[in-house]
Amino acid sequence: MTENNQKTWVAEDPWKGLRRITDARIALGRAGSSLPLAAWMAFKLDHARARDAVHSPFQQAQLARELQTAGMECVQLESEVAHRMEYLTRPDKGRRLSTASRDQLKNKASGCDICLVIGDGLSARAIHENAREFTLLAVPLLHRAGFRISPICLVRNARVAIGDEIGEILGARLTVMLIGERPGLSAPNSMGVYMTMHPRTGTTDERRNCISNIRQGGLPPLEGVRKLGYLVEEAFKLGTSGVELKDRMTAGHLPFGISLESLTGS
């Protein structure tokens, strides 16, 4: 069988041109009543990458060293989860600090404006690829805007709500949490950023704002920081967050009147 003959077995989808503008699994064509072999193998590969993202260990110490090299104080914490399988089956434990981490945090000074938390969530890969760049842009921006920032809290086996307990212990007015999102088959490396005003244990999700899909190929970190800056501006202006804070940011918005390009040196 020649290569040309093999190609005739695949019926192409008339919408295949849309694949130029999205990573979504669309217009794949068919071979008989099934997917073409190449599309099926690509699906298996993406599924394996998603599983790897969930189970890859959080390189917590390495990220802490990188941020400390940039002059940022870091605290390494952990949730109540004992191991990764427990993390997947007991979300409630991922929302609470371990006793040792709670005691460690209580020794830190309280009363900051913004508490910055970084947790592995469901994709440590997303944090490894995006958190450093995002933090190195966001922290200088918030400092120049006059906010007091907490030590950066790196949390292993974290769920979003653990930021509420951390913010409460540190007496923060607002918590910003960077976390690895649930991997998709076209994006195992998406990072989400959640912002909560007046963080307290037991806060529910309608009190949060979320910036999603931060990654190369999604929302670039620079634009994610621009959006965060806008939301922080609005949160402190209104004294609230979540459903009571609507996103009306205009294109090219300068958060706090500061050019983000001035932070990157570009």
Lookup result for tokens 């060293």 = 65
Taking the CA atoms of residue 80, residue 94, residue 241 and residue 200 in that order, the dihedral angle to the nearest 10 degrees is -20
Longest dimension (CA), the chain: 73
d(CA 68, CA 74): 7
Contact assessment for residue 260 and residue 226, using Cβ atoms and an 8 Å cutoff = yes
Calculate Rg over the CA atoms of the chain: 21
Cβ neighbours around 250 below 10 Å, total: 7
Q: Is 128 helix (H, G, I), strand (E, B) or coil?
A: helix
Contact assessment for residue 231 and residue 195, using Cβ atoms and an 8 Å cutoff = yes
The answer to whether 112 is a known ligand-binding residue is no
CA-based nearest residue to 77, from 134, 150, 174, 143: 150
φ, ψ of residue 202 to 5 degrees: the values are 100, 0
**First-to-final CA distance of the chain:** 55
The answer to whether 75 is a known ligand-binding residue is no
Query: Which residues, including other chains, have CB under 8 Å from residue 250's CB and lie 6 or more apart?
Result: none
The answer to whether 80 is a known ligand-binding residue is no
Lookup result for tokens 């590969």 = 45
Lookup result for tokens 């993406």 = 46
Cβ neighbours around 56 below 10 Å, total: 18
Cite the annotated binding site for adenosylcob(III)alamin by residue number. 160, 181, 210
Cite the annotated binding site by residue number. 160, 181, 210
